[in-house]
Amino acid sequence: MWQYYDYDELGSTNDKAIELTTKATGEKIAVTAEMQTGGRGRRGRRWVGAKGNLFLSLALPFELKNCGALVLISGLALLELIKEVAPQSDVVLKWPNDVLLDDGKISGILLEKGEAGYMIVGIGINVKIAPITDAVYKVNSLANAGLLFDRQEIKDMYLRHFDELLDYWQQQGMPALVKRWLQYAKGIGSPIEVKMPNTTKDGIFAGLNEDGLLILQTEQGQEVISAGDIFFKEEGIKR
């Protein structure tokens, strides 16, 4: 069961979720806002708050050392939601947790640390609108692909898939979760560029290890990468 809070407007649902963890005592908390004015993205980017889209933050007691599981679960939950409502859709996962529908990014996920042993999973889903951004990737929305739902319906379905995957990971373990994620991974075996905070590396996307970290095959051998943005080299500038 999730303790659910919905607001008309927030700066960032992640900030509100972090604030709520200061008084939390083990319950799972979900926060949404109809409008988000200061949404945060990864690497200091911003996340556009277009009305009709879903801005959701989940706060749950979670050990930092298991965060690799949350990274995979958070993206896979949305992919499996889309596969459930539109089994034929062209939807894939781009490591670490982007979901691409018809090759356009339809969501963004930001994991942050809460208080008192909580982790925060912040997810923005382009339900109605694919905001025009200055980012280098293509964007899409569920509505644009003919999937007409409102943000509350998507939130309920997302929580159901998220819970199911959390149970799956708790019962089956990380290798089984990684295997389930890999079924939908974009570009295994393809040349990629991995952008990290201070460096960029080229190689072949060789898969994920049992902790969900990226394995990059380079001329020097295999490297394990824990965080970065990947770009597929055979595509154009808009990736």
Q: Where do contacts with ligand BTN occur on this chain (CB under 6 A)? A: 12-14, 39-42, 45, 47, 55-57, 108-110, 122-124
Residue nearer to ligand BTN on the CB measure, 39 or 68 = 39
Smallest distance, Å, CB 134 to ligand BTN? Answer: 13
Euclidean distance between the first and the last CA atom of the chain, given in angstroms as a whole number: 37
d(CA 100, CA 25): 35
Smallest distance, Å, CB 135 to ligand BTN? Answer: 8
Cβ atoms < 10 Å from Cβ of 50: 19
Smallest distance, Å, CB 27 to ligand BTN? Answer: 19
Strand partners, 231: 193
Nearest Cα to Cα of residue 99 among 146, 44, 158: 158
Smallest distance, Å, CB 12 to ligand BTN? Answer: 3
Residue nearer to ligand BTN on the CB measure, 47 or 162 = 47
Q: Whose structure tokens read 């200091």?
A: 44
Residue nearer to ligand BTN on the CB measure, 12 or 21 = 12
Residue nearer to ligand BTN on the CB measure, 176 or 227 = 227
Residues in the chain: 239
d(CA 121, CA 106): 16
Contacts of 239 (CB under 8 A, 6+ apart): 136, 137, 138, 231, 232
Residue nearer to ligand BTN on the CB measure, 58 or 69 = 58
Smallest distance, Å, CB 136 to ligand BTN? Answer: 12
